[in-house]
Every structure is written in structure tokens, then in C-alpha cells.
Chain A
Amino acid sequence: MQLEAKNIGFRYGDGPWLFQGVNFTVKPGEIVGLTAPSGRGKTTFCRILAGYEKPLEGSITIEGLPVPTRGFHPVQLIFQHPEKAVNPRWKMEKVLSEGEKPDPELLDLLGIEQEWLTRWPNELSGGELQRFCVARALGSNPHFLIADEMTTMLDAITQAQIWYAVLEIAKKRKMGIIIVSHEEKLMQRLCHRVVELKSF
């Protein structure tokens, strides 16, 4: 199960090309860092990998096959702002069950407490919400996880807790992770290799 992006090119409308001819591969169980200065299209590239946008050039394949467009996408993206990524009119229980219901073990590992499940999103902090977003994405067993500045706005302890849980699960399931971040120390600590979007 190898995620492969070949010759990807993308631009918005008739604007200038954001990037062209990008090649990128992630093997199962591999943790890859992705870095570039602001505005170079890191997030757009992640959105393309996770199927949110269609690349104008090139193709995304998993194990040589195109990614299915219907049903659960095997590449799940976690956004930077968890408060935008949950429906404000849903209780957390319903938010979690949007994918497959995550098992209690996963919730424990992420430090999600049972009493949070009956709360509304605005009754939880950003860090708590982000745990739910991670649990929702991991619940249905994706093959790859993209963490687009996943812990940028969280304090060091929460960051450490979430990353510990995610790495633990990745190891157990042989799941590939792509980490987008500006924090070099974090990348060095977590990633097997780091690539820069410019130097593709």
C-alpha cells in the first residue's frame, strides 16, 4: 500500500501554477515531513492527496491503482482549525460517529473523556476538539493520515499527547503519516525523512 503522487500540477482558475511536476511517495508505516515557506501550496498539495481537490496534471495512486472517488477516502486529512472542522450544531458523539464509531481504546489513548461526548463543540477547548478530529479520522482505519499543521495552535503538553497517540496507532496499523509543519524541531523528532515542496 504505497501512496504515490506523480507529476502533480495545480493552479487556481487561470492563476499562475502553484506547483508543477511534483513527485511524492509515502510507504506504509513511514512518517514523512513536508515543509515549505508560507504560500507555496503545502495545504493545497495536502488537499489534493486527500482527494479534496482534483490535480490538473498528474495522478494520485495507491498501490498503482487510482483512489476511489466514492466512499471512505483512504487518505484522511486533519485540518489546522478543529473548531471549523466540526459541525457546531452536532454533539461530539455524533461528530465521532460520522465515520465508523472509534473503539473505546482509541478514545482512551487520545485522552478523550466519556463526559465530553455529550457536550456541544463550543463547550470544548481547541485541543480537546482536535483530539476528536483525530479520533474521527482514525476511526474508519485510513491507510494514510495527513496532519496539516495539526498541533500548531496547541500547547506543548497537548501536542505531545496527541502525537504520542497518533504515532502509537500508526505503528500498530502500519499507517503512513505526512506531517506539515513549520516547526523544525518537531519534524526532526517525528519524521523518518523531511522533504521540501520547492525541491521536488
Chain B
Amino acid sequence: MIPGLKIGTKEEKVKRFYLNRRQKTLLTIVVATIILLSVVVGGAMLDQERIATNLNERNLPPSLKHLFGTDWLGRDMFTRTIMGLSLSMGVGLIGAIGSTSIALVLGMVSATMGKMADRLITWLIDLFLSVPHLVTLILIAFTLGGGFKGIVIGLMLTHWPSLARVIRAEVMQIRSAEYVQISQQMGKSSWWIAVHHIFPHLIPQLLIGFMLMFPHVILHEAAVTFLGLGLSPHEPAIGIILSESMKYLSSGMWWLAFFPGLCLLIIVRTFETIGENFRMLIDPTRANEK
């Protein structure tokens, strides 16, 4: 008997509760869907009255009536957090979809439209990557006058470069494949080839890129709003809540920042985990890792 083959009983016990990556990913997706649905549905169901100012119930710590406590104007923090999250997710979704589309178009163009286009787009990608996202985002949002429109356009225009680079490389690889060359000699147009041969190969990359970009976008939106350059103060965004509560932290009202921040963190981490797991599951060289 080979001694290395011996499996201890303790290990076996652990194994019984062990989930492989597929099962874990599925579990995370279920959790994420529940959170997402409850936030979206909750955001739509809760009415503005619950965040109306009520000076009789100011600065209450978390209780059963007010799960996340109330702020200095007596507004229910739970309601504000849900509304803020639902707004953040909306912004994140639009931003990530826009960014993914830009990445797709630029990646395809740079890989198929000849050397000049490629040089130009690669230069543009390098340019955007050499400056931190946040700086470009603040510049664009500020130039467009801030607010919802400014921040969404800013997010769209700043998050595409790394995905565009991945897509460019992928398209170049597929374009040199023999079956694409054969397709050309069969008289198919380059548009036909792009739609039928190349695009289906990009779907996994796009999906993963989107999943990883989404939490990133939400965090940047919150950061810029926190700095006061994003959404306007009357909107219940997470960034606004966090920046307002900073003033009250020193007076011991920890719940104002703690719960909204925690919720944001949970959502961001969940989506990041899903994206990472997808990437590893789809990558054939890493799919065997546990």
C-alpha cells in the first residue's frame, strides 16, 4: 500500500461538506440573485414616506423597528440603504453594459480594420490604462456637469480599456484560424465572418468581463459620489450616505456608515466571486483547480 494514498478520517469528514467550484458558483449565483431581486423589488416597493424626516426619532441606534437605525433627521437608514443600493446597481448596470459595448466595438475594430486603426486604438488603450480610472472618471464627470448623466457617461468611458485589450487579442487569434481563412476563400464577407465566426467565440470573454466590471463600476460610482463629484446630494446614493455620515461618526453614530458600507461590500464581493469563478471554470487550463 502506498502511504501517500492513506486518507485520514478527518479529511473524509471535511470532504462530505465540500463543494466543488461549480457548486460554489451556483450557490453564489443563487445568493446574488436573491440579493439583487430583494434590492430591486424593495427599492421599488418602499415609498418616499419612509425616508421622510421625523424629528421625534432622531439618531436612534439599530432596533427591530429601524433595522439600520435612523439618522440625524430621523430618516430610516434601512430604507435609505436599499434605495441607495438600487440606484447604485442601476448606475453600475448601465455603466458596465456601456463599457462592455465600447470594449467589444473597439477590440473588434482594432483587430480587423488594419494597422492604422490598431495602432490608434492600442495607443488609446495605453493612454487610458496609464492614468488611474478614478482620475479620468472625475475629469469626465466634472466636465459633463456631474449628476446622473455625467457619472454614467464617465463610468462608461473609463472602464473599457482592459477588456478591449483582451477582446483584441482574442479576435486576432480567431482571425488567423484556418477555418476563418477558408471562410474567406468561400467568398464570405468580413462582416459575415465577424458575426458568425468571431462573435460567438467572444461571448464567454464578454460575460466574464462584464461580471468583473460590474462591481468595479459600482465602487467607483460610490467613490466619486463620496467625493462630492457624482450624483447630486438629494439622491439616496450609497456614496452620499457614506460621505454625509462621516460627520456623525465621531459622535458615536457608527450605524450610519457601517450598514450601508457593509451592504455595498457584500454586493461587490458577491459579483466579483461569480466573475472570478466563471473565469476559472471557462479557462480550460484552470478548470481542474478546486
Q: What residues of chain A have their CB less than 8 Å away from a CB belonging to chain B?
A: 50-52, 70-73, 76-77, 79, 81, 84-87, 89, 98-99, 136, 140
Contact = CB atoms under 8 A, between A and B. Distances in A.
Given A51-B185, A72-B186, A99-B186, A85 B178 contact: yes
B186 A140 contact: yes
B179 interface: yes
A87 to B, nearest CB: 5
Nearest to A95: B179
Interface string B193-237: 000010011000000000000000000000000000000000000
B149 interface: no
B185 A98 contact: no
Given A77-B185, A98-B186, A84 B179 contact: yes
Nearest to B181: A52
B188 interface: yes
Interface of B: 177-179, 181-183, 185-188, 197, 200-201
6 contacts: A51-B185, A72-B187, A73-B185, A76-B185, A84-B177, A85-B178
Nearest to A68: B187
Interface centre among B179, B187, B188 (most CB of A within 10 A): B179
A71 B187 contact: yes
A79 B186 contact: no
A76 B183 CA distance: 11
A118 to B, nearest CB: 18
Contact of B178 (A84, A89, A98, A140): A84
A72 B177 CA distance: 19
Nearest to B200: A89
A87 B186 CA distance: 14
A81 B186 CA distance: 18
B177 to A, nearest CB: 7
Contact of A52 (B177, B179, B185, B186): B185
Contacts of B177: 84, 87
Contacts of A51: 185
A50 B182 CA distance: 10
A89 B186 contact: no
B187 A89 contact: no
Nearest to B183: A98
A50 B200 contact: no
A131 B253 CA distance: 75
A55 to B, nearest CB: 16
Contacts of B178: 79, 81, 84-85
Nearest to A86: B179
Nearest to A73: B185
Nearest to A72: B187
Contacts of A87: 177, 179, 197
A134 to B, nearest CB: 12
A139 B25 CA distance: 45
Contacts of A89: 200-201
Contacts of B200: 89
Nearest to B182: A85
